[in-house]
Amino acid sequence: MTYSGATEVQNAREQLGDALAELQTSAALPEDVLDVVQHIAQAMGALFDAERADREVERQASIKNALGALSQTLALLQDVKSGHPGLDAATERTASVMSILYDVSAPSAPSEGKRGGRADDAKTRGSGGKSKRRRRTSSRPPAPAAPPDASRVEVEVNIGATTESNFYVGFSGEVSDGGVFLATYEVQPKDTLIDALVTLPGGYQFRTPGYVRFVRDAMDFGSDAEPGIGIQFDSLPEDARALILRFIKKRAPMFYDE
């Protein structure tokens, strides 16, 4: 490994190995913990590929694959209901590794994630082995002030296996602190109040309020990002959160954290 960032990539892979060791303390793991283990292992495999890559483009593709698996891992960790002594360490190491990889990766398309914030305190655990989330304030900025009767712009966001539209999360991994990216040329200004109808494969859908957190302008010719708007969730319904968690087990969410 002679490329810039080689040491950091190796360090990231070794940290994930430590996270796996913390989780694989028994042969019979609960299903929700096993899901986390599989995604961490997938990320480690991608980092092995990055270390062996002969070309920069191949290395960046492998790092991007690792980041996708780790975005899924963080989100899945928020929904682990089985008590496990290694969950704290796995969450902290996953967030730390994501921070490392964003620092060493080439500038990515803004619609696929933005490096920012800190990778700490994604989750803590209370007494009795039960998870207790602690939301990071930087992960979910306050909604823009608006009169109670303010009108909202209605949009429909169709998300599938290969659509440009997709969910996004921050370093906390908590999906309700994230949102959904709507790929569109009809962008709305930042802080515009939104009423989003989100449709998923299989006929599933949910409606949720939100607001425009970031904009990808179609006239920004210097960017490879798909134009559109990032809609920050505001009071995401619990049944909608469950649908999102089910979906991102199959497809990695984008990353965005200011």
pLDDT, tens digit (0-9, with 9 covering 90-100), for 199-257: 999 999 999 999 999 998 766 545 567 899 999 999 899 999 999 998 988 888 888 87
The model's pLDDT over 157-190, given as tens digits with 9 standing for 90+, comes to 999 999 999 999 887 778 888 999 999 999 999 9
Q: What is the pLDDT of residue 252?
A: 87
Tokens of 214: 């970031």
Fold classification of 6-106 (topology level): Butyryl-CoA Dehydrogenase, subunit A; domain 3 (1.20.140)
Tokens of 16: 């994930």
Q: What is the pLDDT of residue 211?
A: 95
Q: Where in the chain is the domain with CATH 2.40.10?
A: 137-256
The model's pLDDT over 10-63, given as tens digits with 9 standing for 90+, comes to 999 999 999 988 888 766 788 888 889 999 999 999 999 999 888 888 888 899
Fold classification of 137-256 (topology level): Thrombin, subunit H (2.40.10)
Q: What is the pLDDT of residue 85?
A: 79
Q: What is the pTM of this model?
A: 0.70
| Burial group, residue 129, by CB count within 10 angstroms (0-12, 13-18, 19+) | exposed
Tokens of 120: 């700490």
- Nearest partner of 230 among 190, 185, 172, judged by Cα: 190
b/e burial code for range 222-257 (CB count within 10 A of at least 16 → b): eeebbbbbbbbbbebeeebbebbbebbeebbbbbbb
pLDDT band at 3 (very low <50, low <70, confident <90, very high): low
Q: Where in the chain is the domain with CATH 1.20.140.40?
A: 6-106
CB atoms within 10 A of CB 145: 7
229 close to 215: Cβ distance less than 8 angstroms: yes
The model's pLDDT over 110-166, given as tens digits with 9 standing for 90+, comes to 333 344 433 333 333 333 333 333 333 345 677 777 766 678 999 999 999 999 999
Q: What is the pLDDT of residue 173?
A: 79
Report how far apart, in Å, the C-alpha atoms of 101 and of each of 24, 67, 93, 160 are.
Answer: 24, 7, 12, 26
b/e burial code for range 69-104 (CB count within 10 A of at least 16 → b): bbbbbbbbbbbbeeebebbbebbbbbbbbbbbbbeb
- Nearest partner of 77 among 184, 183, 169, judged by Cα: 169
> Which residues touch 23 (CB under 8 Å, ≥6 apart)?
29, 33, 36, 37, 40, 84, 86, 87, 90
- Categorise residue 53: left if φ over 0, alpha if ψ from -120 to 50, beta otherwise: beta
Residue 101 has pLDDT above 70, yes or no: yes
